[in-house]
Amino acid sequence: MLRNKPFISCLSMILGLVIVSHPLLTLAQEYRPPKRGLPGRREGAGTRGTCMDGQKFLMPLTPVDGFSATTSNSPTFFWYVPPTSAQMAEFALLDSNDSQLYKTTIALPRTAGIVSFTVPEKVTNSVLKTSQDFYWQFTVICDPSNPSRNPFVEGVVQRIQPGKELVSQLKKAPSAYSRATIYASSGIWQDAIATLAQQRCLNPKDSSSLASWVALLQSVQLQEFAAEPLTASCSVLSEGRGGK
């Protein structure tokens, strides 16, 4: 999957320089997966024969095993979408029996980048019951009349109830970066990436913001997508920040 080696090498050099300036901050942004059986494996959707172009695949920004946890009442999901002529994508939530629980369409940007979607709180509260696995699918609508031509990616999400220790740690955290570190080290991926995405959106020129974002993605082997632009507005990302 790592086809752009010169870029990755350059990015790694930049990250290394930032680590020297912010060693504790950057090294802390490492995701530690929870101990559980692997539900699957993260895979990108190919571009051949579809409406997508470019060297990179459609890719979910999730851990390698495709599983992510959240404590949020309105979790935000992220995907890299390559250049495409498609104008819309579809997001769906399903239960363990593949019964559809929720579906909506998402407008796609005109340029390649990281697309996000925040599940409304009323949907989360009615659909995503705590301590249960749910499945999501993100589909780029290349051909509305022929679904087999629509590339898609999928994964597993579980909404968890934070324990007292985690709640205490988050309350004492001095910054958003510290909260992201706590989420990542606790295996709560969705809240970690949403927190850092908001910080990167609000502080696009801040070196520590970029370093934390790169380090988190690098910890789940997604470093080749770290420099891709966030296509959502800061107001949209703030709605889905972790820890609600």
The residue extents of the domains of the chain are: 5-239
Q: Can you tell me the distance from the alpha carbon of 121 to that of 16, in angstroms, rounded to the nearest whole number? A: 39
Model pLDDT, residue 241? 52
The predicted structure's pLDDT at residue 59: 96
Q: Which of 89, 103, 120, 78 is nearest to 231 (CA)?
A: 78
**CA-based nearest residue to 78, from 38, 29, 42:** 42
pLDDT for the residue 4: 43
Q: Above 80 in pLDDT, residue 70?
A: yes
Write the CA distances from 130 to 52, 69, 161, integer angstroms.
Answer: 36, 10, 7
Cβ-based neighbours of 130, under 8 Å, separated by 6 or more: 159, 160, 161
Work out the pLDDT band at 45, boundaries 50, 70, 90.
Answer: confident
pLDDT at 15: 46
CA–CA gap between residue 44 and residue 224 (Å, rounded): 13
Strands (E), the chain: 59-60, 67-70, 76-81, 88-94, 100-107, 113-118, 133-140, 152-159
Number of residues written out for the chain: 244
**Looking at residue 190, what is its pLDDT?**
96
**Whole-prediction pTM value?**
0.86
- Asked if pLDDT for residue 88 goes beyond 90, the answer is yes
Tell whether domain 5-239 is in CATH 2.70.98.60: no
At 4-30, the pLDDT tens digits run 444 334 444 444 444 444 444 444 578
Mean pLDDT of 89-106: 95
Confidence (pLDDT) at 12: 45
Distance from CA of residue 98 to its chain's centroid?
A: 22
Residue 50 CB partners (closer than 8 Å, separation 6+): 140, 142, 149, 150, 151
Where residue 187 falls (left for φ over 0; alpha for ψ -120 to 50; beta otherwise) is left
Alpha carbons 132 and 191: distance in angstroms, whole number: 17
Give CA–CA dist 162/150, Å, rounded: 37
% of the chain beyond a pLDDT of 70: 81
pLDDT tens string 210-235: 899 999 999 999 999 999 999 876 76
